[in-house]
Amino acid sequence: MNSAPSNDHRLDLQRRQRIGMVEAIWGEHKTADQLARIIRKLHDAGELALATRVSPSKAAEVKALLPELPLEHHAEARCLVSPQLPPVDPALGRVAVLSGGTSDLPVATEAQLALACHGVEAELVLDVGVAGLHRLLDRLEELRSADVLIACAGMEGALPTVLAGLLPQPVIGVPVAVGYGVSAGGQAALHGMLASCAPGLTVVNIDNGYGAAMACLRILSRCR
């Protein structure tokens, strides 16, 4: 790796002990060299590394810089993880991550992977958008067994509202930057979810699958 100041990053290595979450690395605006140094420091501390928004080309660069580490790039979720994920702990609860369509899959899989990094079982339930409402209604009985629902949707973002009106579990809405014209990069979905008439719906920022997973983790941790 290229030489660089050793104090260009300060990791929160006590986050897991303090609030039950590993520190995630925002990878989109970091260089491969910066990511490699951070991942190396986490590895040396015995901590799992989760880097979000990492492209395949940047992931390949990081792997080349750290050939001795078992790094895995999850292309759909755009995340780089080291080392292997912990085993699923059924005692932590079960989560369903829903998407309106396959265009929402990168955000949904980011949420699923972030939960997997904490040993939480999360099932993907795909293509249940409200344009074909019967597809969601067909899965309602199955969804009742989940402890928390994460709903990722673009366009007008109606899926979380429908879910929160039909099922009693906590529902976390994730607006996705998918849609034509006035969808405005997820703004329409965000505003629709924030203005929802379904009581108790929680909403995170646009495309923030990781944030939805951490909100879910907080809920699950208080229910044990």
CA 74 to chain centre: 12
pLDDT at 5 over 70: no
pLDDT band at 82 (very low <50, low <70, confident <90, very high): confident
- The pLDDT of residue 8: 63
Q: Which of 200, 222, 217 shows the shortest CA–CA distance to 94?
A: 217
SS3 158: coil
The chain-wide mean pLDDT, for the chain, equals 91
Q: What is the DSSP letter of 131?
A: G
pLDDT band at 79 (very low <50, low <70, confident <90, very high): very high
The more confidently predicted of residues 11 and 165 is 165
Domain at 90-223: CATH architecture: 3-Layer(aba) Sandwich (3.40)
- The pLDDT of residue 54: 96
Q: Which of 24, 16, 19, 17 shows the shortest CA–CA distance to 81?
A: 24
pLDDT at 193 over 80: yes
Strands (E), 70-208: 72-74, 79-82, 94-99, 121-125, 148-153, 171-175, 202-203
End-to-end CA distance of the chain: 43
SS3 178: coil
Q: What is the DSSP letter of 201?
A: -
The more confidently predicted of residues 6 and 58 is 58
pLDDT digits (tens, 9 = 90+) for 132-153: 899 999 999 999 999 999 999 9
Q: Residue 100 CB: number of other CB atoms within 10 A?
A: 29
pLDDT band at 224 (very low <50, low <70, confident <90, very high): low
pLDDT digits (tens, 9 = 90+) for 91-124: 999 999 999 889 999 999 999 999 999 999 999 9
Q: In whole angstroms, give the CA distance from residue 200 to residue 18.
A: 27
pLDDT at 29 over 70: yes
- The pLDDT of residue 18: 85
pLDDT band at 7 (very low <50, low <70, confident <90, very high): low
